[in-house]
Amino acid sequence: MCTSVVWNFLFWYTEDLANSSFQITHLKTLQGLLTGVQCFLGELPFNFISGNVLRKLGHVNVMSLVLLIYAIRFMAYSTVSNPWWFLIIEILHGPTVGLCWPTMVSYGDKITPSGTKATIQGFIGAIFEGIGVSSGSFICGWLIDTYGGVVTLRVFSVGALLWLLCFWLIQLLLRKLKISPIHTGHNRE
């Protein structure tokens, strides 16, 4: 859901914030630079180091970190009035998307029995994009249309923190039920 905000609404929000003639004239340049920063300074380095990060922290801790950084990222968007400052915020694209996707794929690979890995990877992709991105886009679009960008980004910031809390509570419950650590992402193999 958080990814859909960045993928589908960040450019719209930058257009809403652009208020000076310089910002309006160079808006498409800014949007291109945002994409470049996301890819080359954010996602690319974190895709390279994701394996090491996962080995050191474990899947649960990395996914917790992703949700926390999404909350920080959305709150930062909502407090900035000059869209050119987004270039700095976009470095956080690395720890969010650049760690989120490898974590999901790696965890799916880790817990599936032999012969079902392709099915699980397809299932992960369907949940991520089919349910997560589509529902996030629907909710974000409705919120922006109803309340504006600042409120929407703050709602998604708080929402990421609430998902993080739910995630931690589920992990605590799984530990109490003594579910195997490999199935909860706590081992660091």
pLDDT of residue 180: 61
- Among 152, 2, 13, 150, smallest CA distance to 79 is for 150
Please state the domain extents for the chain.
Answer: 1-177
CATH numeric code, 1-177: 1.20.1250.20
pLDDT in tens, 40-68: 999 999 999 999 999 999 999 999 999 99
pLDDT of residue 189: 46
Most confident of 113-122, 145-154, 175-184: 145-154
In the predicted structure, residue 182 carries a pLDDT above the cut 60: no
Q: Which two tokens stand for residue 23?
A: 């910002």
CA 59/CA 66 separation, integer angstroms: 11
Most confident of 73-77, 79-83, 181-185: 73-77
pLDDT in tens, 88-98: 999 999 999 98
Separation in Å, CA 116 to CA 25, 102, 119, 128: 51, 18, 5, 18
pLDDT of residue 186: 54
In the predicted structure, residue 188 carries a pLDDT above the cut 70: no
Instruction: State the helix-helix crossing angle for 93-111 and 2-17, rounded to 10 degrees.
Output: 170
Q: Which residue has 């709150």 as its token pair?
A: 75
In the predicted structure, residue 187 carries a pLDDT above the cut 90: no
pLDDT of residue 33: 94
In single-letter form, the type of residue at position 86 comes to F
CA 133/CA 152 separation, integer angstroms: 16
Q: Which stretch of 62-71, 105-114, 179-188 has the lowest confidence by average pLDDT?
A: 179-188
Regarding predicted confidence, which is higher, 185 or 34?
Answer: 34
In the predicted structure, residue 36 carries a pLDDT above the cut 50: yes
